[in-house]
Structure 1
C-alpha cells in the first residue's frame, strides 16, 4: 500500500485514488468509443479468452504489458 502525506498533513492512499481515477478514465473512454491502442501479441490473449483459459490469458497479458496481477485480471475481465 502506498501512503503519502498531503499538504494538509492528511495521509492519502495513493493506490486507491489511482485505481478510482483509472476506473473513471475507462468509463469515459468507453463512453466515447475510444479503444486502447493495439499491443503486438494481444491476439494470443484474446484467443485464450475465447477458449475459456482465463488464467493463461492473464499470464500472457502480464508478460505483454508488464502489468501487475490485479490490473491484468481486471483488463482480461473487461475483454470478456
Structure 2
C-alpha cells in the first residue's frame, strides 16, 4: 500500500512540475509575441504600411462614444496586447491611421 501511495505521490509531483513549467513557458511566449508585434507595428509605421484588418470587437463602439480608456481595455482583451501597444493602436484608430 505504501508503494502505491509513493508512486502516486511521485506521479502527482511530476505532473505539477510539468504544469508549472508549461505555464511559465506560455507566459514567456506570450510576452515575446507581444514584443514582436509591437516592433512590427513600429516598422510598419515607419515605412507607411497601413493594416486594413478589422478592428477588434468593441473598440470602435467605445471610440464613437468617446470612451478611450474602455476602447484600450477592449483592445487589450481582444488581442492580449500590453497597455502601451493597446494605447498606441487605439490612438492610431482615433487619428484615422
Runs of 4+ aligned residues of structure 1 deviating over 4 Å after TM superposition are: 18-21
The structure that is helix-richer by fraction is: 2
DSSP-derived class of the 2:72 partner: helix
1:22 aligns with 2:8: no
- How many residue pairs get aligned? The number is 58
Gap change, CA 1:66 and 1:21, over 3 Å in 2: closer
Who is 2:81 aligned against? 67
Higher relative contact order (CA 8 A, sep 6+): 2
Unpaired runs of at least 5, structure 1: 1-14
Unpaired runs of at least 5, structure 2: 1-34
User: 1: CA distance between counterparts of 2:87 and 2:71?
Assistant: 9
The structure that is strand-richer by fraction is: 1
Alignment of 1:1-80 (within 5 A): 22-28=41-47, 29-30=49-50, 35-38=51-54, 42-80=56-94
Please tell me whether Structure 1 or Structure 2 has the larger radius of gyration of its CA atoms: 2
TM-score by length of 2: 0.49
TM-score by length of 1: 0.58
Who is 1:10 aligned against? none
User: 2: CA distance between counterparts of 1:45 and 1:71?
Assistant: 14
